[in-house]
Amino acid sequence: MITRFLLSNMDRRGLVFLALIAAIGLLVPLANLLMPAGSPLHVSTATMSLWGKYLCYALLAISLDLVWGYCGILSLGHGAFFALGGYAMGMYLMRQIGSRGVYGNPVLPDFMVFLNWQELPWYWYGFSSFPFAMLMVLLVPGLLAFVFGWFAFRSRVTGVYLSIITQALTYALLLAFFRNDMGFGGNNGLTDFKDLLGFNVQAQGTRAALFAMTCVMLISGFLIARGIVSSKLGKVVIAIRDAESRTRFLGYRVDRFKLFVFTVSACMAGVAGALYVPQVGIINPSEFAPANSIETVIWVAVGGRGSLVGAALGAVVVNWAKTMFTSGFMAPYWLFALGALFVFVTLFMPKGILGTAQGWWESRKRPAPVPAAEPAPAE
């Protein structure tokens, strides 16, 4: 049942995407580990981790597309779920430092010692265990999304109002995580990680494994999201996006369907955040910044809202452009460029890069356009 759920109706675009990510996940780590540094086929560890970061963003974009592109819920707070997953991973990594911190405290992370704390807060318990931490990566964002969605969707908050409260949610978390007494390292966040499952997080091999793992998770996330959107539930969700009240009159409990996709999506964003943290080496409250969530929306719009492959593509393309831009003399103008890109895409490519390319391709293959509507049958 599960394989059928994941693989039924797989289209060509989906297969190409899966093959591509699988190939990257295999070849990039090999090129990094096996090719000598001078070889043209060598991929440096820094480049690999940079692309690993892009792929984490791609998973985040897929999770956002699931709720926005398919269910019409414009979440402007998805960065919060990403950051919470990242913090859960960061807490595990902090506990792995053990007595190797600056203060040498075997239990307390450095920032707690610095604050003169005597014991570990209860919510840090268990994070020294990897399975527990991974469970929290899913559970914390999932639970927050569930509780938030429960109230929001049941009281039928939709549209702009919903977007605003998702934005408020991530902003509230930003402020909370900035506080030192919250116990998450304040504005410095969590960093100086040492080991992951006993392997040095800085080591080339660990980086390569993390990159491969990111590809595995991107593939899994894609398959789950695809399974959902091509099931009958996916059709219900699209129906909700296009005519919410009509769907209700067919007997579907709209709030429950929204709650389901919103929660699944938040868990997926959490996984993306968890993979991101060891590859960039730090998690701090700025990940909760409202601007981050808005940028994610732009990636999805640029790639093609309502297409999972498009969302992933948008995340990679925009972030690659960002790296190019911000590492040169154009750096101060990145936000203007991003804004301009968003306006351009909204005005001229409403289906995003992928939708526009596909439309162009199809119109070349089939010159005669299909008529939009048939005239009513003559009597």
Partner 1 sequence: MNAPTPGALTSSLLYLDGVSVSFDGFKAIRGLSLTIEPGEMRAIIGPNGAGKTTMMDIITGKTRPDEGTVMFGGSVDLTKLDEAAIANLGIGRKFQKPTVFDFHTIEDNILLALKSKRTVLKTLFWQTEGAQQKRIDEILGIVKLADKRERLAGSLSHGQKQWLEIGMLLAQDPKLLLVDEPAAGMTDGETAQTAVLLKEIAKDHSVIVVEHDMGFIRELGVKVTVLHEGSVLAEGPLDQVSANERVVEVYLGR
Contact footprint for partner 1 (CB under 8 A) = 1, 5, 228, 231-233, 235-236, 238-239, 242-243, 245-254, 256-257, 260, 372-379
Rounded least distance, CB 307 to partner 1, Å: 13
Shorter beta-carbon distance to partner 1: residue 198 or 251? 251
- Rounded to 10 deg, the angle between the 78-97 and 254-280 helix axes is 40
Rounded least distance, CB 377 to partner 1, Å: 8
Rounded least distance, CB 17 to partner 1, Å: 22
Shorter beta-carbon distance to partner 1: residue 162 or 236? 236
Shorter beta-carbon distance to partner 1: residue 37 or 378? 378
Shorter beta-carbon distance to partner 1: residue 25 or 69? 69
Q: Which residue reads 């989906």 in tokens? A: 14
Tokens of 29: 């780590």
Rounded least distance, CB 352 to partner 1, Å: 16
Which own/partner pairs from 195-200 qualify as long-range (CB within 8 Å, at least 24 positions apart)? 195/93, 195/96, 195/97, 196/93, 196/96, 196/278, 197/130
Rounded least distance, CB 225 to partner 1, Å: 13
Shorter beta-carbon distance to partner 1: residue 239 or 337? 239
Rounded least distance, CB 265 to partner 1, Å: 14
Q: What separation in angstroms does the CA of 262 have from each of 110, 166, 191, 224, 363?
A: 36, 12, 30, 14, 35
Rounded least distance, CB 378 to partner 1, Å: 8
Shorter beta-carbon distance to partner 1: residue 347 or 376? 376
The answer to whether the CB of 76 falls within 8 A of the CB of 164 is yes
Q: Phi, psi at residue 288, to the nearest 5°?
A: -85, -5
Shorter beta-carbon distance to partner 1: residue 4 or 36? 4
Tokens of 64: 């956002």
**Whole-angstrom distance, CA of residue 65 vs CA of residue 351:** 13
The answer to whether the CB of 273 falls within 8 A of the CB of 89 is yes
The answer to whether the CB of 304 falls within 8 A of the CB of 314 is yes
Q: What is the DSSP letter of 374?
A: P
**Whole-angstrom distance, CA of residue 230 vs CA of residue 352:** 21
